[in-house]
Amino acid sequence: MTSLLLNGVTVRFPFPPYDCQKEYMSKVIECLQRSVNGVLESPTGTGKTLCLLCAALAWRESLKDAISAQKIAARLGDQELFPDRPLASWGSADADSNAPNSYTDVPKIIYASRTHSQLAQVVSELKNTSYRPKVSVLGSREQLCINPEVMRQESNHVKVHMCRNKVSTRSCVFYNNTEEKSTDRDLVTSILDVEDLVKYGNKHRACPYYLSRSLKQQADIVFTPYNYLLDPKTRRAHNIELNGAVVIFDEAHNVEKTCEQSTSLDLTPHDVASAIAAVDRMLQEQAKEVGHQDAGGEDGNLEPLQSGLNMELSTIAKIKQILLDLEAAIDSYDVPNDKGVTKPGIFIYELLERAHLTYRTRTPVYEALEQICGHLAGKPGIFLNTSGLQKLSDLIQLVFCGEPSETERQQQMHLNTVHFKVHIHRETGYHNRKGSADVWTSSSSKKQGNILSYWCFSPGFSMQDLERQGVRCIILTSGTLSPLSSFRSEMRIEFPVTLENGHVIERDQIFVSVVDRGPDGVNLSSAFDRRFIPENMASLGNTVANLSRVVPHGLLVFFPSFPLMEKTLDFWRAKGHAERIDHVKPMFVETKGKGAFTEVIDGYYNKVNDPASKGGSFFAVCRGKASEGLDFADTFGRGVIITGLPFPPKMDPRVILKMQFLDEMNLKKTPELKYLSGQQWYRQQAFRAVNQAIGRVIRHKEDYGAIFLCDERFKGLNAREQLPSWIRPYVRLHDSFGNLVREVSQFFRVAQKLRPVEEKKPSTAGETLRSADGQSSSTTSCSSSQSCHAQKAKVLDAHLPSLKRRRLDDHTRANDMSRILSEYEGEGQGRKTRPASLLEALERVDHCRGKEEEVGEEKAHRLSTLSLQYDKRADDDLRGGKRKIRLVHGQSSLEVSDEVKGNRAKALLAEMKKSLSQVTFDQIIQALQNYKKTDNMDVLLSEISVLSEDVNTHSLLKGIYQFVRSHHKQKFDEKCLELIGQGCGYKPDHSLAKDRQTVEGLKPSSGASGCSQLNTQQLNRGGPHLSQQGLRGPQPGETSRPASASHTSCQSGFVAEVKKALGPEKSAQLFSALCSYKNTENYDNMVTTVVSLFTERDEDFHLLVRFGMYIRPHHKRQYKRMLNALAGLPDLDEDASAAAEGQQTQAPSSPT
């Protein structure tokens, strides 16, 4: 944990922050201290969420410290509690313009993001900090309710009213337990997201929905979707108190759209008709009760109305008349089918006045509507549809806001509607309902008519309303807010603090290219008049196919819209482009459904992680699920292709009216108010979507990737200025497609060498979208077996390059499911020559450029995700299937051991380069190279002792232990212990030469028999843990001996173990192969079967070693070599013969 002082506030951060993170936190604290609004842009991957949380909570703690200092100072008078730390230095009250005087006045933080899944990630980040505030997460009943009867309802509207009814009658056992559990210490002090809260509610049988509302009262930080803040109705429903609060909008690039949608309203013919039907039902019930009361009055037995509704029949009748008049007023306009009638926003008052809705009548009508809704919601039995009544109530609140006097009323009406337009249009189609089974459907609602749309076209309306609630400050932040000037002008409130942050990456981590022409020279464009031209679609297909060959691992391809993507993919399927792409990187296509999308994205993650493939390609749309919030870090997103500019649909009425509204505002030329033009807004929407999709490629400091802008319109300077500031300096233009391919290939070669990345496990990749009910893909079921076999697979590939991954061909899927192929694919014909030692690896590290190792291809015959379910079944078959193995001799058996050590050496050198100055780094490298040549340990120790001076470089000093030769290791360990008080883990066998280590490790211990087993815990690493007599090389003078009685006993025990480990079917295969070997002496056929059976599980490998007792003498050496290779050991026969020849050469001649 790192502490740093920013603007007088001590911030505790989980690790040393980067400069851009310090700048970001300083701006956040500045907003909080000065009580001013801020717009802060920081690219994805710079840790803005963590910075936001740490800065805001640190500032809040500093306020508490300042209050504590004031209280202590008041008690002590002029005395100081700590002489070396005056009370005046506590907290940051002196830097704060509105410092509170009591703990209860410390501002609450309202942290808003777009979705609950994003909030869950924020809560997870909070758990990684040292701050432990009181937390509340707000959600809807749909997400938090655990009452089975309520959750069975399909309509969210029904769920709400059923919940309210149960709460009012206290018939919900979960709600009844809420008050008792709301003070539970484990609940109050824990940091819980929505999923955690639901688990707690189920465990303690308490309602999570009402628990979250209870926790909100005492919470230091409240997490909520931002429509809960921006929608006045939802804000009131959740009783969110904003006075004095700090409001933070994360992922704020969507705030503009949410602001407009939350204050817009559509009143359909169905809404009005259902409202009339509900009021009719009320009139009938009340008339019956009044009649019953009158009949009782004749007998002198007067009773109050049983319904409990304190409303006269005449009032209910007036509400019905208002609805009928409103319906007639809306339908009185003759609207063309293809267009609507548009009026200025202030026209809404004229329209509503025809239904007797004015400022004078709004209050009694609104109260009557609320009372009727509440009464109908509380009635047992069938629920009546009150959504129409609720919409009318919302419309009254939205239109008649404020409390103007008679003289100010006209001005207030203008202010209320200046950002709105009234649009009356025909209902485009009848929404199919469930007939008589739908409790909402009535004969009166089955009609077509006009829709009244009251649309807001300025997000500033909601933001100004939010500011009027008395908030301390509003902070808007995201990775894609550029250009900030236009974003600020849209919000219509002041933002004194702004930041357009840089990225944490270096130049060699990002490659950005404008691809204006395909390989065939055809210009690329997604413009409306060119997007469906066959030449353009074919050229784009050739471009994607070529780039898929040079971009390693995962490739993301974003289209402007779903229709364009679908039509383009259909063209590619017909013309063969899709097959070319799918052959290199199997194609996965984004779907619209949530469940299907989860399956598709999991399939893509699994394919990228598959060592037998060259990765995968994911085809998605801008503004879709894949472009918002999903993590495509490292290998999952090495390249992003943008196939065009995603402009909004220009013929959409809302888009047309938005552009007209902005142009009208500009013509008014209001002083101090600057609006975008309609065309500027239209272009801005396209580039915001592009920037959001681009943000998928770089997710953290060590990530790298390429961005391809495949549209000739990106060549323009104006277009490039719309890109994020951290990308602009790296944009390249190429004069030919060939030059582009060469440069991007070079980029990835260098990046892969400088930043090798350990591949992710498939099971963690899909967790981003996995639901709380435990649903998972096939990845989860196989991830453990994949991880435990990873190293063994590597060795098998090295020794047996003929191993190929089993694939069930299209023609044999139904009839030949038991066809034996291989699970793994060879790593290529040629292997890179490994350095003989770590020092040699050190010498090469800055000079050699490794050629990318290619894994074998898999022709998957799957376009999109149509065969995902089949692939899952095939994967299950693969795990239990047989393997056919052909042994190939002559491969290097040292590769795994040296590779592990080489990677460790590279990691140490990279850490040195990052931690040390260039002079010190060069000094250390020179010392190591001199040590390699001179073998002088004293000189090496004197040169590297500089690493002992700083505690941060002690680990680097210990790391050099791996470069020290065996006869110096003990001395180096002792010197480290003397300099830094820590040794390097020296053991006596470290002082043995490599060949002696192996021989010593393979000597049988006293009492060991030929049946001793191999420890498979460190299987592919080799070394002294392999104490197994079966691997011992032949000794001089040793000859084969006949089997003894103990050997016969050992054979019996071995047979029993084999039957237990393999089962009857595979045991029969083994014994059949052994009998065939006995009769034919066909070693290759026998060993193929044996190895396939004994290498399926790590725990069976010792049986493969012990099987050596059955190998004929003239094959034993061949068998031992294979075992050594599989275990990562050197060939002992060659070492022994080389040593014998050396001894003979050095021995003096015997006298004659």
Which of 402, 390, 395 has the alpha carbon at shortest distance from 420?
395
Euclidean distance between CA atoms 327 and 669, whole angstroms = 38
Angle of helix 116-127 versus helix 48-76 axis, rounded to 10 = 60
Q: For residue 23, what are the CA distances in angstroms to 482, 503, 875?
A: 18, 12, 49
CA max distance for the chain: 150
Question: To which H or E segment does residue 434 belong?
Answer: none
Question: Is the separation of the CB atoms in 425 and 341 below 8 Å?
Answer: yes
Euclidean distance between CA atoms 4 and 10, whole angstroms = 6
Q: For residue 876, what are the CA distances in angstroms to 33, 320, 870, 880, 1066?
A: 59, 64, 10, 7, 18
Cβ atoms within 10 Å of 818's Cβ, excluding its own = 8
Q: For residue 312, what are the CA distances in angstroms to 309, 365, 466?
A: 9, 13, 37
Angle of helix 194-204 versus helix 208-218 axis, rounded to 10 = 120
Ranges of the chain with pLDDT below 50: 93-95, 298-306, 429-446, 760-896, 995-1044, 1132-1152
Question: Is the separation of the CB atoms in 197 and 212 below 8 Å?
Answer: yes
3-state secondary structure labels for all residues of 810-847: HHHCCCCCCCCCCCCCCCCCCCCCCCCCHHHHHHHCCC
Residue found by looking up tokens 């926003």 in the block? 345
In the chain, the amino acid numbered 477 is T
Q: Which residues contact 441 (CB under 8 A, 6 or more apart)?
A: 433, 434, 435
Which of 1025, 1044, 1053, 1051 has the alpha carbon at shortest distance from 1111?
1051
Q: For residue 681, what are the CA distances in angstroms to 487, 989, 1103?
A: 10, 72, 71
Q: For residue 691, what are the CA distances in angstroms to 24, 489, 646, 696, 1075?
A: 20, 19, 11, 9, 67
Which tokens hold the place of 354? 């025809």
Residue found by looking up tokens 């994020």 in the block? 724
Q: For residue 401, what are the CA distances in angstroms to 343, 355, 412, 936?
A: 20, 18, 9, 87
| Assessment of whether the complete model's pTM goes beyond 0.75 | no
Question: Is the separation of the CB atoms in 901 and 838 below 8 Å?
Answer: yes
Euclidean distance between CA atoms 186 and 196, whole angstroms = 12
Give the start-end residues of each E strand in 35-175.
38-41, 109-113, 135-137
| Coil vs helix vs strand at 499 | strand
Euclidean distance between CA atoms 375 and 396, whole angstroms = 20
pLDDT at 915: 76
- 328-338 CB burial, b ≥16 within 10 A, e <16: ebbbeeebeee
pLDDT at 1103: 84
Cβ atoms within 10 Å of 100's Cβ, excluding its own = 17
Omega of the bond leading into 100 within 30 degrees of 0 (cis)? no
Paired strand residues for 556:
618, 640
Which tokens hold the place of 669? 């030329």
Euclidean distance between CA atoms 590 and 632, whole angstroms = 14
Paired strand residues for 477:
40
pLDDT at 453: 94
Euclidean distance between CA atoms 791 and 798, whole angstroms = 11
Q: How many CA atoms lie within 13 A of 290 on its CB side?
A: 12
Give residue-wise pLDDT tens across range 227-268: 899 888 888 888 888 999 999 999 888 888 889 988 899 999
Angle of helix 868-880 versus helix 594-609 axis, rounded to 10 = 40
Euclidean distance between CA atoms 491 and 244, whole angstroms = 20
Question: Is the separation of the CB atoms in 472 and 245 below 8 Å?
Answer: yes
246-249 and 109-113 beta bridge pairing: parallel
Euclidean distance between CA atoms 973 and 956, whole angstroms = 13
Which tokens hold the place of 1070? 């083994």
Which of 911, 414, 440 has the alpha carbon at shortest distance from 670?
414
Q: Which residues contact 14 (CB under 8 A, 6 or more apart)?
A: 1, 2, 50, 128, 129, 130
Residues 106, 111, 116, 119, CA torsion sign:
negative
DSSP-derived letter for residue 772 is: T
For 57-92, give the DSSP string.
HHHHHHHHHHHHHHHHHHHHTT--SSTTS-GGGSTT
3-state secondary structure labels for all residues of 364-375: HHHHHHHHHHHH
Paired strand residues for 247:
110, 474
Give residue-wise pLDDT tens across range 455-503: 999 998 889 889 989 999 999 998 878 777 778 878 888 899 999 888 8
Euclidean distance between CA atoms 398 and 419, whole angstroms = 12
Euclidean distance between CA atoms 510 and 669, whole angstroms = 43
| Coil vs helix vs strand at 357 | coil
Which tokens hold the place of 112? 């808003």
Euclidean distance between CA atoms 282 and 319, whole angstroms = 11
Question: Is the separation of the CB atoms in 261 and 125 below 8 Å?
Answer: no
Which tokens hold the place of 1048? 């016969």
